[in-house]
Every structure is written in structure tokens, then in C-alpha cells.
Structure 1
Amino acid sequence: MSIPILNYSFSTQNQRVDGFEYLPGEEQPKIYTTDNLPTAFEMDEIIWAAYRQIFSEHQILSSTNEPFLESQLRFNQIKVKDFIKGLLLSEAFRSLNYNVNNNYRFVEMCIQRVLGRDVYNERERLAFAVIIGSKGLEFFIDLLLSSDEYLNNFGDNTVPYQRRRVIAQRSKGEIPFNLRTPRMGKEFLSKQGMPQLLWAGPVRQFRPQEQKPKAGDPALFLGMVTDIAPASV
């Protein structure tokens, strides 16, 4: 028997904040879409934007490239949404993001990168985490991409982008969702065989040669004074 899916309300501290699309200016995102038959150069930009949105710039490596999916997109064999799905289900995305995070953190990251907004609340994070645990990763990805929210905002031909601001963290230097590093949790370090940087031996203090006391320095005799000092009564 599968775990029932929790219901949650669409509440957030930023629900009154207008999206980027309603505030023209420097912060308005550039839309990458295949609606207008892009040129070869524009298609390169669309593919780069998709990698940047799903993987983020610091995860775009040679190992994350999907040349077969890129070829299908260039020759109009698949839609942008299919390309996004392929990246989300790729082995590279799984190893860099899913395998090193718990379901709650993974849900938050996917909603930010796929739907272009932050999670509404803990209930939403928990509800999707239950879906991953009971239905699996692919079902969760299909659920996001087939949702009315995704289709109404991005459709089949537009690369997702951050469409909601988070003003609560502006004073701390807010950065786009897709540029946040999905840090590896402590519980996954040993699982991945990562060094723990633990030292069981004595801790020794290094002193540069020029700072070491020279012959005749009183500091050299402090230990001797301590040894011959009479014990306190």
C-alpha cells in the first residue's frame, strides 16, 4: 500500500511579490524558446540556457553533456520540455544532485530549477518528498513537467527560468536558484567515499624557523623552571 499524498496550501511569504515578468528592467529574464524557428547560434544559446538552468554553471562539465539529446533538439525531433526531462533524468544529474541529497533538499532544488520559484512551505516539500519515496524519481519529474504551472508558464518550447523573486534574502545577497550549489550533506560523505578530514593523532603546532627561540633565549628555560618549582601546599 502506497503512502497517501499530502495536501498543502499555496502559501508563501513572497506571494504578494510580483514576478520578473511584471517588472520590466535589468532583472527581467531573457526568454529562450524555439517558438520562432531559432538559428543555429540561437539554438546553441537555448541549449546552454537549459544546461545552466538545470545543472547550474558550476556543474556544467564534459560529463554532463548529452550530445544525443542536443542532436534531437537541433533537428526538431524533441521539444525543449523533452530536452529538460532528459537532463533531469540523466545519470549526471542523478549523481551530482539526487544521490548526494535527501529527498527534501532534492525537492526544493527541482522546484526552483524546473518551476522557477521557491517551495511554498514545508507541506509542499514534504508532499513531493513522499511522492519520490513512494513513486520514484521519474514519476516526480513527470509530475512537475506535466503540471499546469509548468505548462502555463513555459509550455513545450521554452527553457524554464526564475520567475519569482525572493525578497526576504535580498540583504544577504540573493542569487538565482540555478546558481545555488547543492551542497553534499554530512550523511552522504561516507556513502560517496569522501575523506572525512579527521586526525586521530596529536595536533602539532608549526612555527616558522625565524620565530623559533634562539640559544640563550629565556623561553627555552621555562620548562626547566616549571620542573623545579616547589609544589603548592
Structure 2
Amino acid sequence: MGIPRLEYKPKSQNERVAGYESGGDEAPRIYSTDNLLSPGDMGTLIEAAYRQLYFHAFASDREPYLESQLRNGQISVREFIRGLALSDTYKRSFYDLNSNYRFVEQSVQRILGRDVYSEREKIAWSIVVATKGIRGFIDELLGSEEYQENFGDSIVPYQRRRILPGRSIGETPFNLKSPRYDSYHRSKLGFPQIVWQSTVKSYRAPDRQPRTGDPSLFLSMAQSIRPTGNLPQSVSPYNIDIERTVPYRKR
């Protein structure tokens, strides 16, 4: 018999209230197979699913077999999300490089579209990861009542933002406040690093670049030359014949 999941509650009453956004840039865009108007819309939906879980999917991160099944109607969007969450890319990027608590936090953000309510919820889901593994944890997230009510089988999960009174903008995107790697692994990988900084500083517009014969092209060559002249001889004043060496006017 498995360990029952700990009970947790929302951290404030605001979590119990439905959002009342009225459109605009803060309103999340919903991608669903229920309102596909053209074949290209399915590709847009797939890209939205990759962005939600991976933030960015390289060619090696994509799952062509799952994409083909979704395009042919063999699986639902919910099953497509499940396949991405159980893929090697997701495991390698989020589970292998983070603790169970951080893995739970990022998975709740990407699959349920919200932040974890409290540390108690983090602990509760971490127990599920420890006892049932990644597959059991992902299955419980996707099979939860919360996921079914908000996304169902046809909607790609999205960040459920809420604009509260006194706040001009919504919540920070998950990929900005919860990056893929934690601080320990970011330091090991040398993040953050600005690769383009030196290139931008040395950039010169094409019309301002020196042409053939410009003296500035030879500046480095001239600076590399280190001429050595004849050093003055050190002669003692006692060895100088003043009467013979000092010129004088002849009458």
C-alpha cells in the first residue's frame, strides 16, 4: 500500500478566486485542438507545447513520433504533454540536474500552469516522486481534477496568470523566475555569461572600417617595434682633459 499524499491548501484566498482578465497582452493565449482552422494551426499548437515544457526545443529535443501521432489524431493533447514530460529531454533537463523539490516546483508550473501553493505541497509531491517515480508523478498531475478542469484533453497547459488589484502586470513567466538549472549547476556551467559583449564593443560599421592604405592599419605594427638606440657613455669627469676638449676662440 502506497503512502497517501499529504493534503495541502492554497496559501491565500486569492488562489480560490477565478481570474477576471479582460484580454490584452497579459491574457494567456489558449491553444486547443477544438478550434483548429488550418493544418498550420496544429504546428503552432505543437510549438506552444514545446515552449510550455522546454521553453525552447532544439532539433535533437523534438519528439517526431509523438508529433506524428498527434497530427493523425491517434493521441490527445494531454497524452502529447505526457509524452514530453516523460521524455529523456525533460528528465535530463529538470530531474537529473535538480532536487526533487525543485523538480516538483517546475513540473507543477509547466503542467498545472501555476506556482506551488506552499512548501507542504512541494513535500507532498516529492513523496510521490520518491515512491512512484517520475512516471507515477506525471500521471497524477495529468490525472488530477485541477488539470482536467482547466485544460482537459485538448488544451495545451499555459501559465494561468491573474491580475490582482494594485498590480499593473501579471506574474513573471516561469522560465524567467524558475530557470532550467538551479544556481549550483548554473555556476558549474559558467552561467550567466555574455558571449556577445566583446564582439559588440569591437564592432565598427562597414562605412567606418579602415580601407587599404589607412595609417590605422599599421598602428599595431608600429607599436610592436621596440627600437634600441645608442646609450650615452658613462665617462668620469676626472678622465676628461678640459684644456684640450673644451673649444676656445683663437685670436
Q: How does the TM-score come out when normalised to structure 1?
A: 0.71
Moved over 4 A (4+): 1-4, 170-174, 194-197
User: Partner residue of 2:128?
Assistant: 131
Match of 1:68 among 55, 65, 70: 65
| Residues 24 and 121 (structure 1), Cα distance of their counterparts in 2 relative to 1, 3 Å cut | same
Determine if contact 1:14/1:166 at 8 Å carries over to the other structure. no
> Match of 1:136, SS?
helix
> Match of 2:5, SS?
coil
C-alpha separation in 1, matches of 2:13 and 2:97? 29
Determine if contact 1:132/1:139 at 8 Å carries over to the other structure. yes
User: Partner residue of 1:181?
Assistant: 179
C-alpha separation in 1, matches of 2:54 and 2:32? 18
| Residues 163 and 196 (structure 1), Cα distance of their counterparts in 2 relative to 1, 3 Å cut | closer
Structure number with larger C-alpha Rg: 2
C-alpha separation in 2, matches of 1:150 and 1:25? 22
Determine if contact 1:31/1:158 at 8 Å carries over to the other structure. yes
Length, aligned pairs only: 189
Structure 1 residue runs of 5 or longer lacking an equivalent are 198-209, 211-233
Q: How does the TM-score come out when normalised to structure 2?
A: 0.67
> What per-residue deviation string (whole Å, max 9, x for no partner) do you get for residues 197-228 of structure 1?
9xxxxxxxxxxxx9xxxxxxxxxxxxxxxxxx
Determine if contact 1:111/1:117 at 8 Å carries over to the other structure. yes
User: Partner residue of 1:23?
Assistant: 21
Structure 2 residue runs of 5 or longer lacking an equivalent are 192-222, 224-251
Q: Percent identity?
A: 51
C-alpha separation in 1, matches of 2:173 and 2:114? 10
| Residues 111 and 196 (structure 1), Cα distance of their counterparts in 2 relative to 1, 3 Å cut | closer
Determine if contact 1:73/1:80 at 8 Å carries over to the other structure. yes
C-alpha separation in 1, matches of 2:189 and 2:87? 26
How far residue 164 of structure 1 moved from its aligned partner, in angstroms, is: 3.2
C-alpha separation in 2, matches of 1:173 and 1:156? 26
